[in-house]
Structure 1
């Protein structure tokens, strides 16, 4: 079952802090994209509102979060993970 993650940024985290960590975050992201484990990922359109990603399964989503430098460096205040039934209507 696909899994969606939602990141809420730490309220006092600056764009400069995110950009400093971004190259390592991007390496982690690219690893999952190349392995076909992430279907879509990125920030929300309003800066500072966080981000989301859609993964092929919960294990992949959990592994991504565990290895994400944004999380490891404390820039993300909250991670919400939800399993998703992606039925077409």
Structure 2
């Protein structure tokens, strides 16, 4: 069993109208964390406005670091977030 850390984002009410403005900076941060091996998976749920998104990180420190500087969080596109420890049984 391997421990990973899942970050859930709850979208702000106006996320769809404001996401494009901050997407390039958000994507650059995603790319940085993925390139260094800390971000394993990321994506939105079917309706990002009402269901939000999630990402999976290798460590709790990486998850916390990502959230603290994420342009979507810093600029108010995320209403709230939660980091959960996740015990992976089967990995790819």
- Flag whether TM exceeds 0.5 (same fold): yes
| Structure 1 residue runs of 4 or more that deviate by more than 2 Å after TM superposition | none
How many matched pairs? 87
Q: Deviations over 1:65-89 (max 9, x none)?
A: 011000000110110110111023x
- Structure 2 unmatched ranges of 5 or more: none
- Structure 1 unmatched ranges of 5 or more: none
Tell me the equivalent position of 2:54. 52
| CA shift for structure 1 position 16 | 2.7
| CA RMSD, 1 decimal | 1.0
Normalization by structure 1: what TM-score?
Answer: 0.91
| Segment of structure 1 superposing worse, 49-58 or 38-47 | 38-47
Q: Deviations over 1:16-56 (max 9, x none)?
A: 30111100000000000100101100111213121100000
Higher share of residues assigned helix: 2
Tell me the equivalent position of 2:80. 78
Tell me the equivalent position of 1:31. 32
